[in-house]
Amino acid sequence: MSPRVSLSKHTDQTTQEEDTPVGIRRQRSRATVKDLHHRLQHASQRAEGRLVRRTTVLLALLVHHMPVEVLSARWGLSPSCLSRWRPDCLLHGTHSLGSRHGGGRPTTLTPQQRKRLAELSDAGPQGVGFETACWDAVLIRVLIWREFGGLSKRHDVWTLLHNVGWAVQKARGVSAHLDVARRQAWLTAAWPQMLHTATRRQGLIRCEDEASFAQWGSLSSTWARRGPQPEGTTSGKRTGSKVFGAMAYGAGRLCYAGIEGRVTSESSHAFLQTIMAHTTEPLCLIHDGARSPTSQATQQCLQGHGARLTAHPLPSSAPDDTPMAYVWRKTKKRATHHKYCKEFAALTVSVDKALAYFATHPDTV
């Protein structure tokens, strides 16, 4: 007698036996059919198209006894593929429905080499002897050749980096004068103390900053057909609209004022008077290290209102620590992104309209 292999532990539930080309007789049980129906329902709910197709084909083969040629034409599958699915299911059960590696050429690097490559990549190009600060596919290929003696193809490098958790990202500039230790000390020590003082005095924390909105507009990512690069009209005029702004931390109230010409100590004084006129509570003012808020004239103005106004400068080269940087970013998106302002007046109107929206929507701020 030929050997018999059963998928079900309950041999009394066996309903049919099938012979395979290798002479092994395998059995289809009711439990297997029930499991196939359950997996089909689960795959349909999760919209797993490949699993739905394979399970449906197996049910047609094992339960409805449809010919392989009919299923092959209906689903666009080769007869050899269907002939392989049926014995795999009978021998290994529904575990054969999972995806399995179909072979292919071996990987370029061993697991230990991949781990070493990830460590070197995390150190950065300058940390391993290159002059640039960011990686690209060419540098990674050179690194692989230098460390492991092989030279991977560019597309293999992309796949390799993706498998170790890397992705293509846009780099951002960081000031060379940034004092990381001082910035961290400000965030962990000065800021909590400032927040405690404002809460105790029932005052407001105002984050003040100034920005310039260029008349030539600004560009950002956009949808377009493949091929020609999208173009935006620009005036080419090197002028901009200068704006002071201050937002109340926790409340979202925005106060702003546009100025003509350059930012000076006099314009900074005028904006301080505007801030104080809008509130009656004690004020804690956070500002950056620009010249106008740190000039001697501005410091004298702050000392004159010392009973109500306290200024706290940010560490040098740390503009991202003020929430106003994000308000300016959203304002540019509404006011200047992909917009052509032929006249300077049109620019100021667009900026004022965007800032007026944020001033009337403190929840958004």
CATH code at 318?
3.30.420.10
Calpha distance 71→69 (Å, rounded): 6
Residue 309, both tokens = 């106004």
For residues 301 and 214, membership in a common domain is answered with yes
| Strand extents, DSSP E, the chain | 4-6, 14-19, 25-29, 204-214, 240-248, 254-259, 283-287, 309-313
For residues 201 and 300, membership in a common domain is answered with yes
Question: How do residues 214-269 score in pLDDT, each as one tens digit?
Answer: 888 777 777 778 888 888 777 667 788 889 988 888 888 888 888 877 888 788 87
Q: How high is the pLDDT of residue 314?
A: 81
For residues 193 and 338, membership in a common domain is answered with yes
Please report, rounded to a whole number, the percentage of residues in the chain having pLDDT higher than 90: 3
Distances (CA, A) of 265 to 253, 269, 272, 297, 299: 24, 6, 10, 7, 10
66/237: higher pLDDT: 66
For residues 339 and 210, membership in a common domain is answered with yes
8/86: higher pLDDT: 86
Q: Report if residue 102 sits inside a domain.
A: no
Q: How high is the pLDDT of residue 99?
A: 55
Calpha distance 330→347 (Å, rounded): 16
Please report, rounded to a whole number, the percentage of residues in the chain having pLDDT higher than 70: 82
Q: How high is the pLDDT of residue 22?
A: 44
Q: How high is the pLDDT of residue 357?
A: 92
Residue type, 58: L
Q: How high is the pLDDT of residue 18?
A: 45
Q: How high is the pLDDT of residue 175?
A: 66
Q: How confident is the model at residue 352 (pLDDT cuts 50, 70, 90)?
A: very high
The whole-number average pLDDT for the span 45-73 is 81
Q: How high is the pLDDT of residue 104?
A: 52
For residues 134 and 52, membership in a common domain is answered with no
Q: Report if residue 238 sits inside a domain.
A: yes
90/116: higher pLDDT: 116
299/19: higher pLDDT: 299
Q: Report if residue 105 sits inside a domain.
A: no
Chain-centre distance for alpha carbon 42: 31
For residues 202 and 339, membership in a common domain is answered with yes
Residue 251, both tokens = 């409340």
Query: What is the residue-averaged pLDDT of the chain?
Result: 77
pLDDT at 209 > cutoff 70: yes
Given 71, 97, 123, the domain boundary residue is 97
Residue 293, Cβ density class (10 Å: 0-12 exposed, 13-18 middle, ≥19 buried): buried
The whole-number average pLDDT for the span 148-165 is 77
For residues 73 and 129, membership in a common domain is answered with no
**Structural domain boundaries, residue 37:** 4-97
Q: Report if residue 140 sits inside a domain.
A: yes
For residues 189 and 249, membership in a common domain is answered with yes
> What's the number of domains the chain is made of?
3
Q: Report if residue 173 sits inside a domain.
A: no
Q: How high is the pLDDT of residue 89?
A: 78
Q: How high is the pLDDT of residue 355?
A: 92
pLDDT at 8 > cutoff 60: no
For residues 325 and 216, membership in a common domain is answered with yes
For residues 115 and 147, membership in a common domain is answered with yes
Maximum average pLDDT range among 62-66, 199-203, 243-247: 243-247
Q: Report if residue 279 sits inside a domain.
A: yes
Question: How do residues 91-130 score in pLDDT, each as one tens digit?
Answer: 777 666 765 545 555 556 788 888 888 888 888 898 888 8
pLDDT at 66 > cutoff 80: yes
Question: Parallel, antiparallel, or unpaired for β 240-248 and 254-259?
Answer: antiparallel
For residues 61 and 144, membership in a common domain is answered with no
Calpha distance 73→60 (Å, rounded): 13
Give which of 224, 263, 223 is closest to 244, Cα–Cα: 263
3-class secondary structure, 354:
helix
For residues 118 and 252, membership in a common domain is answered with no
Q: How high is the pLDDT of residue 4?
A: 38
Q: How high is the pLDDT of residue 9?
A: 37
The whole-number average pLDDT for the span 12-29 is 46
The whole-number average pLDDT for the span 323-349 is 86
Question: How do residues 337-348 score in pLDDT, each as one tens digit?
Answer: 888 788 888 888
Q: How high is the pLDDT of residue 354?
A: 92
Residue type, 231: E
Calpha distance 265→263 (Å, rounded): 7
Question: How do residues 281-318 score in pLDDT, each as one tens digit?
Answer: 888 888 876 666 667 777 777 777 777 888 888 877 66
